[in-house]
Amino acid sequence: MLRHLLPSSPFAPIVRYCWAGLGALSCCVLLTSCKPDDSPFRAENDALKKQVAKQESLLSSLQDGNKVMQQQIDLLNQELRDAKKATEAAKSETQQLTELLEAQLAQTKRMSAEAQRTAAAQAAQSLKIEDKGAQADQFPRPLPAVAKVVEEALARNGYQVKVSLRTDQKAVYVTERKVSNPASLEVAGFRNQYLIALQALPGNVTKLSVKAEFEKIAQGGRILSVSAEETAEIERRLIGEISKALEAPSKT
């Protein structure tokens, strides 16, 4: 309209410039008044960022905890392996010691048996001296059968065997000292100990030797003199009892 009104006015350029400025200003005002409010989105983003930071911190803590736990598990596994190795080593050592002990026990038994055989043999060899002056007899019986009858006769008469040594060819019995107290002034008591030797002879014959250490005891413990014949009679009595037992049907 102004262009129509002021088509040739010298102020026309100025007027147009003013109108252009007013138009631009109006556009700026309109644009400013239409910009959206993004503050709620920023708050939500901030909250999400905080949650993410917390989750990352928690995840890091869990990872650290897992590392520590794994280290503990590895340590326990190593200790378990070490303990297993130690147990196996101890078991192996125990087995070796057991085998060594068994071998030593077997050797000890062999040595003990050998020592007993040696002692018995030495004792049997000494019979040639010990049975001097003893009463003797021979029986057509093997040594084991005669030895059994001797043991039964000693037990039947109240004599306990103190020492017993026996080999395939010889046997020795030494009894405890048997004491019988005097019954009265007129009847003396006694004490006696037997040394009995058996020796196997050819033809399944056994030689029996009996030696007695016989003493009479009066009241008060006084020892009475005993003749050699009285002692020999005591020895012959035991031989007679053994002979009678060997002749019994059950001993043949």
- Its pTM stands at 0.49
Per-residue pLDDT of the chain (252 residues; tens, 9 = 90+): 444 444 555 555 555 655 565 565 555 545 455 555 667 778 888 888 888 888 888 888 888 888 888 988 998 899 989 998 898 888 888 889 999 889 988 988 888 888 877 776 666 555 554 566 789 999 999 999 999 999 999 999 999 999 898 888 999 999 999 988 877 776 778 889 999 999 999 999 999 999 999 988 888 778 888 899 999 999 999 999 999 999 987 655
Of residues 133, 95, 142, the one with CA closest to residue 246: 142
Cβ–Cβ < 8 Å for 150, 220: no
Cβ–Cβ < 8 Å for 216, 190: yes
Burial of 236: CB neighbours in 10 Å, binned 0-12, 13-18, 19+: middle
Three-class SS state of 160: coil
Cα separation, 166 vs 13, in Å, equals 160
Cβ–Cβ < 8 Å for 195, 134: yes
